[in-house]
C-alpha cells in the first residue's frame, strides 16, 4: 500500500500509540455513558394537516367551496406526494403528504410554504369559515402519559388540580417539548328558555341574545389625564359567574324583565361530550408529555418521576394518578436487552478467538474489540447517533465484522514470525501486503450498506443509522488493525522458533487441499453443482414468506373499534364499557386505557392516527406479559366478533417501522362517488373471498339520513321571517346557540342559549315548533315549511382531488398481507379491466408501503454496484478478477434462502438490507483471496498452485470470520425485528465462505489458464 506504513509508525512511536489507545478507550467509555437512549430511531412523518370549519354548510357546499379550493392550492406544494382529504358537512381535513424523497431537513421549509399558500387564499373562502388551521406537529410522540381519575370531585375541580401538576412539570423539567390534555371536557353556561314564556313576554330571541352579549363585551372606555396621573376608566357588567347571567335585564313593551324569570341558567359540561378518556373503567383526564428534540428519554423519565412524586403528594385524597404510557421504562428494558445481546456477542467472539487462535493471538483480538467499540462510541456521540433499536443492532452486526481485520492481521503476523521475521519486519510486511486489500474490502463492505444510507423513504430514514454505525465501525476496525493490533502483537505474541522451515499442513488442511484440487480438476461439475444450487435457491425464494416490518415485542395491544358512521359518542362509550368489562374479567391486563371518539394519542412513533369521530374508539391494553398478550389477543378477537357483529374491530400488536394501519387495503378511485360505492361492494366481495381475510370494511360508504326543511320563501317573507332566522331558531331549540363567553379564571366558558329539556325539539314535535315572528307572536314551523327525509354522505375521502373509496381488511394470524395480495391479484386485475374509463384500483396498506420502501432501496443499488466495481478495479486492476468477484456475489442467495426457509423467517425490509450488506462481506473476502493468489503467482507459483496455496492460507481467517459473525449474531437471531436479517446473513455468509474457498479458486484457475501459467511480479 502506498503512503506511510502505519504499522511501522505505531511500533516506532510506541508510547504515543499507547497514549492514543488509552485516550480512545476512556473517551469512548464516557461517550457510551452519555449517549442518548430511545426505543426507536426518530423519522420524519412528512404529513401536515390542514383543517377548515364552515358551520352549517352542507356536504356539497363544503366540498366545492372549501375542499376543492384548498386542494387546488395545496397541489402546488413543493415535493408533494399526494393530497388526501376527508370532507364532512361543515368541516374538511386535508392531509398534505410529501414524497419520501424529500430530505427531512427541507420539510419545515415546505410546511412554511404551505402556510403561506393557504394564507394567500384565506380571503377567498366563504364568510363564516373558521380557519384554515394547520398542524405540522402530526408526528410528535407523547411517550409519557399520566392519567388522573377522581372520586368525589367535579370535572372542573379535577382539571384545576391536574393543571397545577402540569405547570410544575413545565416549570421544573427542561426536556419537555409540550404537554397535551386528553379527555378534558369543556364547561358551558346553559341558558334554557321556556318558549311559551318568551312568547308571552313579546320578546325576540335576537333581542335577548344581543342584550346578553352587549353587557359582557370588552371594550376600551378611555383614559382621563388629570395632569398628574392617568386614570383608566373601567365599565362594569362583565360576567364572572352564572349568577351574573341570571341578572341580565331585558326591556320589552316598556317593561324590564329579568333573564332569570324566563330562563334557567346553570353550569354544565358540553353535550354531547368531547372525545373521552377512560382508564380502568373510569372516566379520566390525562397529561401527555412530549420530549424536546435531541433529548434523552431516560433522563426525561427520571426528571418527570421526581417532579410527579412531589406534585402528586400535594393532590387531595380521591385524585389518583395512573401511568398509562411509560416509554422511559420500555426504552430502559429494550436498551438493556440489546446491550446484553451486545455483550453476549462480544463474549462469543472472544471465546471463538481464544479457541481458534490460541491464548496469545486470541488476547490480541480480544483487546482490539473493546478498543474498536470505544472509538465507535466516541464517533457516534460526535455524530449525535443515539442508542436505540437500530444502532444497537447495527453494533452487533458490525461487531461480527470488525474482528475480521484484526484476525487477518494477527494471522498474517504469526505466519511472518514463523518464517523468521522480527515483529517490526512482520508488521511492516503485513501492512504492505494486506492493508490495501483490507481497506478495499472494508470500503466494499460499507458500499453494501449504501442502499440503506441513501434510501429516500421513511423506512430508509428509520434504518439509516445502520449504515452510519456499520460504516464507522468498519473504518475504525481497519485503523485499529493497522495501528494498535501490531503494537499489541509486539507485547503479547510470542515468535515461534525462527528456523525458516514452513510447517506442513495438518490433516484438515490436507483434506481441504485434496477437495479443492478435485474441484479444480472437475471444474465443470463444480460449476454445474453451484449453478444448480443457485437455481434451486431462486425457485425457493418464491416460497419464503414476505413481510414489511414485524410487530413489536411490547406488551401492549391496540383495539380498533368502529360502530356505524352515524353512531353517537354515547353509543361508542357504552360499547367500550362492555369491552373493558371483558378485559378486566380475563385477568390478563395490567391496565386498560380507552380513547372514545378518537384515536389514541401518538405514544409510540409508528402509530397510524385517524381524525376524531364519534363512531371510532381505540383501546390500549397493557398485558401482564407476552403470554397474557397472546391469550388476550385471541380471546378478545373472538369476543368482539361474537358480541359486536355490526362493528368493525381489530386487535393488533404495535407496529414497527413507518405506520400503515389496516394491513390489507385497496383504493378505488374515480370521478363519481356513486359508481365508486357500487363497485366497492364488488371489490369487497372479492377480498372477502380470500379465506384468511377478515373484518372487510370501507373507510366511507354508508349514507346518513338528513331532514330537509323546505321553507316557503313567499310565506316566510309575509310573516317577516328569513331562512337565516329559521336556522337560528332551530339551532337554539335543538343544539343551542353560543351567545357570549364567560371569562372564568384562565378559561373561556361559552354561554349557550337553548330550549329547556322539556321544550327541546324532537322529530315528533318539530312541525309544531313555535317560531317567534315580528309583532310578539309565534307561528308553528309547519305553517311555512315542509319536511322531507333525504340521504347524504357523512364522509367523502378524496385523493389528489379524485373521490377515493378504500376497502380495508385484516388477515388472520399466521398469514401476511403480501400473500393475500398475491392470491387476489388475478381477480383484482380482472375486475380492474371492467372498470369505466377514469376509474382504477390501487393496492395500499402494507404491500404499498413495502413496495415503496424496497423501491427506494433498490433505486440506490446501481450506485452500490458502481462503487463496488470501482473499488474492485482499483484493487484488482483487471476485468477478469473483477468479473469473478461479481459472479460470486449473488451466490450468497443459496445460503440466504436455505436459512430463511429452514428457520421459518420472512423476507422483509430488514432482511433485504441484510442481503445487500452480505454482498459487501462476500466481496471483501473474495478481494483478499484473489489478491493473495496474485501475490503467490508473482512469487513464482503456477495458477493452480497459487490458488490452492492462497485458499489454504486464507481458510483459517475466513472460517474464523464467518464463525465469529454467525455466532456473534446469535443473540439477536431470536428477536422479531433483527431475526430475519441475522438468519439471512448467517446462512448467506456460511455458504458464501465455502464458495469463496472452493468455487472462487476453481473459477480463477478456469479463467486464468492451466497449471503452468505464471504472473509477473506486481508492485505492492
- d(Cα 700, Cα 441) in Å, to the nearest integer? 55
pLDDT reported for residue 1018: 41
pLDDT reported for residue 762: 61
Please tell me which residue, 88 or 854, carries the higher pLDDT value: 88
Residues 784-823 have pLDDT tens digits of: 888 777 777 777 888 888 899 999 998 887 778 888 888 8
Q: Nearest CA to 146 among 275, 319, 294, 388?
A: 319
194-198, 356-360, 515-519, 612-616: least confident range: 194-198
Average pLDDT over the chain reads: 83
User: How many C-beta atoms lie closer than 10 Å to residue 385's C-beta?
Assistant: 22
Grade residue 503 by pLDDT with cuts at 50, 70 and 90: low
Helix and strand counts by DSSP (H, E) for the chain:
33, 30
Q: Are strands 319-326 and 589-596 parallel, antiparallel or unpaired?
A: unpaired
Q: Nearest CA to 952 among 998, 989, 909?
A: 998
Residues 86-134 have pLDDT tens digits of: 888 888 999 998 887 788 788 889 999 999 998 888 888 888 888 888 8
Q: Are 41 and 388 in contact (CB under 8 A)?
A: yes
- Averaged over 633-637, what is the pLDDT? 89
Strand-pair partners of 530: none
| Whole-model pTM over 0.85 | no
Grade residue 758 by pLDDT with cuts at 50, 70 and 90: low
From residue 417, give the alpha-carbon distance in Å to each of 355, 426, 940.
20, 6, 22
169-173, 233-237, 420-424, 659-663: least confident range: 233-237
Please tell me which residue, 582 or 700, carries the higher pLDDT value: 582
The CA R_g of the chain, rounded to the nearest whole Å, is 36
Q: Are strands 187-193 and 263-269 parallel, antiparallel or unpaired?
A: antiparallel
Residues 303-328 have pLDDT tens digits of: 999 999 988 888 888 888 999 888 88
pLDDT reported for residue 199: 66
pLDDT reported for residue 1012: 46
The SS3 call for residue 288 is: strand
Task: Please state the length of the chain.
Answer: 1020
- Averaged over 597-621, what is the pLDDT? 86
Amino acid at each position: 500500500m502506498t503512503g506511510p506504513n502505519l504499522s511501522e509508525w505505531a511500533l516506532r512511536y510506541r508510547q504515543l500509540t499507547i497514549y492514543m489507545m488509552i485516550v480512545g478507550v476512556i473517551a469512548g467509555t464516557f461517550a457510551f455513558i452519555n449517549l442518548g437512549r430511545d426505543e426507536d430511531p426518530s423519522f420524519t412523518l412528512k404529513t401536515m394537516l390542514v383543517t377548515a370549519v364552515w358551520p352549517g354548510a352542507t356536504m356539497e357546499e363544503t366540498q366545492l367551496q372549501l375542499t376543492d379550493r384548498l386542494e387546488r392550492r395545496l397541489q402546488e406544494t413543493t415535493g408533494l406526494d399526494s393530497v388526501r382529504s376527508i370532507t364532512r358537512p361543515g368541516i374538511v381535513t386535508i392531509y398534505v403528504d410529501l414524497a419520501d424523497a424529500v430530505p427531512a431537513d427541507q420539510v419545515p421549509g415546505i410546511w412554511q410554504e404551505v402556510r403561506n399558500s393557504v394564507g394567500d387564499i384565506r380571503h377567498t373562502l366563504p364568510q363564516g369559515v373558521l380557519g384554515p388551521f394547520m398542524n405540522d406537529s402530526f408526528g410528535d410522540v407523547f411517550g409519557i402519559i399520566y392519567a388522573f381519575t377522581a372520586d368525589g370531585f367535579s370535572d372542573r375541580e379535577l382539571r384545576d388540580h391536574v393543571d397545577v401538576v402540569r405547570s410544575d412539570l413545565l416549570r421544573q423539567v427542561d426536556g419537555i417539548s409540550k404537554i397535551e390534555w386528553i379527555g378534558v371536557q369543556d364547561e358551558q353556561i346553559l341558558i334554557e328558555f321556556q318558549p311559551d314564556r318568551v312568547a308571552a313576554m313579546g320578546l325576540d330571541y335576537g333581542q335577548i341574545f344581543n342584550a346578553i352579549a352587549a353587557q359582557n363585551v370588552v371594550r376600551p372606555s378611555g383614559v382621563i389625564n388629570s395632569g398628574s396621573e392617568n386614570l383608566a376608566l373601567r365599565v362594569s357588567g362583565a360576567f364572572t359567574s352564572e349568577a351574573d347571567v341570571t341578572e341580565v335585564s331585558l326591556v320589552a313593551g316598556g317593561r324590564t324583565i329579568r333573564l332569570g324569570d324566563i330562563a334557567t341558567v346553570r353550569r354544565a359540561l358540553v353535550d354531547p361530550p368531547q372525545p373521552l378518556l377512560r382508564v380502568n373503567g373510569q372516566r379520566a383526564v390525562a397529561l401527555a408529555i412530549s420530549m424536546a428534540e435531541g433529548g434523552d428519554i431516560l433522563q426525561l423519565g427520571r426528571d418527570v418521576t421526581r417532579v410527579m412524586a412531589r406534585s402528586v403528594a400535594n393532590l387531595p385524597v380521591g385524585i389518583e394518578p395512573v401511568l398509562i404510557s411509560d416509554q422511559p421504562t420500555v426504552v430502559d428494558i429494550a436498551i438493556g436487552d440489546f446491550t446484553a445481546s451486545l455483550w453476549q456477542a462480544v463474549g462469543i467472539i472472544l471465546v471463538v478467538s481464544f479457541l481458534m487462535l490460541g491464548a496469545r493471538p486470541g488476547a490480541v483480538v480480544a483487546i482490539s474489540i473493546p478498543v474498536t467499540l470505544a472509538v465507535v462510541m466516541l464517533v457516534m456521540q460526535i455524530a449525535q447517533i443515539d442508542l436505540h433499536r437500530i444502532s444497537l443492532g447495527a453494533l452487533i452486526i458490525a461487531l461480527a465484522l470488525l474482528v475480521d481485520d484484526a484476525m487477518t492481521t494477527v494471522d498474517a503476523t504469526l505466519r511472518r514470525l514463523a518464517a523468521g521475521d522480527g515483529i517490526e519486519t512482520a508488521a511492516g510486511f503485513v501492512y504492505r501486503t494486506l492493508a490495501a486489500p483490507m481497506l478495499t474490502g472494508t470500503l466494499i463492505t460499507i458500499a453494501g450498506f449504501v442502499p440503506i444510507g441513501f434510501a429516500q423513504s421513511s423506512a430508509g430514514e428509520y434504518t439509516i443509522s445502520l449504515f452510519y454505525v456499520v460504516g464507522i465501525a468498519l473504518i475504525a476496525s481497519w485503523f485499529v488493525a493497522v495501528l494498535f493490533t501490531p503494537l499489541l502483537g509486539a507485547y503479547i505474541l510470542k515468535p515461534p522458533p525462527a528456523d525458516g522451515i514452513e510447517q506442513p499442513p495438518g490433516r484438515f488442511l490436507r483434506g481441504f487441499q485434496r477437495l479443492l484440487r478435485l474441484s479444480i480438476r472437475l471444474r465443470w461439475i463444480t460449476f454445474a453443482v453451484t449453478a444448480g444450487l443457485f437455481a434451486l435457491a431462486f425457485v425457493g425464494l418464491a416460497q419464503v414468506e414476505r413481510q414489511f416490518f414485524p410487530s413489536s415485542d411490547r406488551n401492549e395491544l391496540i383495539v380498533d373499534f368502529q360502530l356505524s358512521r352515524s353512531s353517537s359518542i354515547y353509543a361508542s362509550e357504552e360499547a367500550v364499557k362492555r369491552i373493558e368489562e371483558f378485559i378486566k374479567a380475563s385477568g390478563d391486563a395490567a391496565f386498560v386505557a380507552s380513547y372514545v371518539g378518537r384515536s389514541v394519542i401518538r405514544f409510540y412513533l409508528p402509530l397510524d392516527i385517524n381524525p376524531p369521530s364519534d363512531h371510532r374508539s381505540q383501546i390500549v391494553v397493557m398485558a401482564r406479559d407476552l403470554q397474557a398478550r397472546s391469550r388476550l389477543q385471541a380471546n378478545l378477537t373472538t369476543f368482539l366478533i361474537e358480541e359486536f357483529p355490526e362493528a368493525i374491530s381489530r386487535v393488533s400488536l404495535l407496529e414497527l417501522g413507518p405506520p400503515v394501519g389496516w394491513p390489507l387495503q385497496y383504493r378505488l378511485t374515480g370521478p363519481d362517488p356513486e359508481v365508486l360505492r357500487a363497485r366497492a361492494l364488488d371489490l369487497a366481495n372479492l377480498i372477502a373471498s380470500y379465506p384468511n381475510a377478515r373484518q372487510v370494511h370501507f373507510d366511507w360508504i354508508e349514507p346518513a339520513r338528513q331532514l330537509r326543511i323546505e321553507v316557503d320563501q313567499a310565506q316566510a317573507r309575509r310573516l317577516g321571517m328569513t331562512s337565516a332566522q329559521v336556522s337560528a331558531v332551530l339551532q337554539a331549540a335543538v343544539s343551542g346557540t353560543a351567545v357570549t363567553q364567560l371569562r372564568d379564571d384562565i378559561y373561556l366558558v361559552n354561554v349557550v342559549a337553548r330550549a329547556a329539556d322539556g321544550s327541546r325539539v324532537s322529530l315528533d314535535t318539530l312541525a309544531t315548533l313555535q317560531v317567534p315572528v315580528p309583532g310578539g307572536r309565534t307561528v308553528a314551523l309547519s305553517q311555512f315549511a315542509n319536511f322531507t327525509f333525504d340521504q347524504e354522505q357523512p364522509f367523502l375521502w378524496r385523493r389528489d382531488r379524485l373521490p377515493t373509496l378504500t376497502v380495508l381488511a385484516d388477515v388472520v394470524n399466521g398469514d401476511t398481507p403480501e400473500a393475500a395480495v398475491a392470491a387476489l391479484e388475478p381477480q383484482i386485475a380482472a375486475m380492474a379491466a371492467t372498470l369505466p374509463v377514469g376509474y382504477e384500483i390501487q393496492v395500499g396498506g402494507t404491500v404499498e408501503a413495502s413496495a415503496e420502501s424496497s423501491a427506494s432501496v433498490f433505486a440506490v443499488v446501481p450506485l452500490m454496484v458502481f462503487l463496488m466495481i470501482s473499488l474492485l478495479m482499483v484493487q484488482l486492476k483487471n476485468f477478469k478478477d473483477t468479473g469473478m468477484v461479481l459472479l460470486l456475489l449473488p451466490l450468497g442467495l443459496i445460503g440466504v434462502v436455505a436459512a430463511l426457509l429452514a428457520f421459518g423467517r420472512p423476507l422483509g425490509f430488514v432482511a433485504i438490507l441484510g442481503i445487500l450488506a452480505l454482498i459487501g462481506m462476500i466481496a471483501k473476502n473474495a478481494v483478499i483471496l484473489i489478491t493473495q493468489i496474485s501475490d503467490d503467482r508473482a512469487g513464482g507459483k503456477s495458477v493452480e498452485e497459487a490458488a490452492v496455496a492462497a485458499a489454504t492460507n486464507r481458510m483459517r481467517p475466513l472460517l474464523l470470520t464467518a464463525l465469529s459473525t454467525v455466532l456473534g449474531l446469535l443473540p439477536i437471531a431470536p428477536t422479531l425485528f433483527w431475526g430475519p436479517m441475522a438468519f439471512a446473513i448467517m446462512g448467506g455468509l456460511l455458504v458464501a465462505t465455502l464458495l469463496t474457498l472452493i468455487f472462487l479458486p476453481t473459477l480463477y484457475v478456469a479463467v486464468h489458464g492451466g497449471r503452468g501459467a505464471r504472473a509477473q511480479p506486481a508492485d505492492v
